[in-house]
Amino acid sequence: MYYLKCKHCNHLNEVKSEYLVVCGLCNRKLEDNYKDWKVKHPEKSFEDFQREVCLTEEQVKKGDMMKPTGKKGNKKGLI
């Protein structure tokens, strides 16, 4: 399974079909959607798109462990 991350809410959308264009959580357009990508790469296939643009489960798991956003909760008592 491949995923597309929403740049607006960081939701990971499962790429079940080539028609995934909007985020399932916030309903905003995914910038890396297949339709737009296909316009730039007309010779490539949906499988290429998944491999080159989408995140794999492996990458998702790794990415979760090193979140760049230092949100509240991990540095208590330092202020």
Binding site for Zn ion (CB under 5 A): 6, 8-9, 11, 23, 25-26
Secondary structure, 3-state, 14-78: ECCCCCCCECCCCCCECCCCHHHHHHHCCCCCHHHHHHHCCEEHHHHHHHHHCCCCCCCCCCCCC
Of residues 28 and 44, the one with the C-beta less far from Zn ion: 28
Shortest distance in whole angstroms from residue 42 CB to Zn ion: 27
Beta carbon of residue 44, minimum distance to Zn ion (angstroms, whole number): 25
Nearer to Zn ion, 15 or 23 (CB): 23
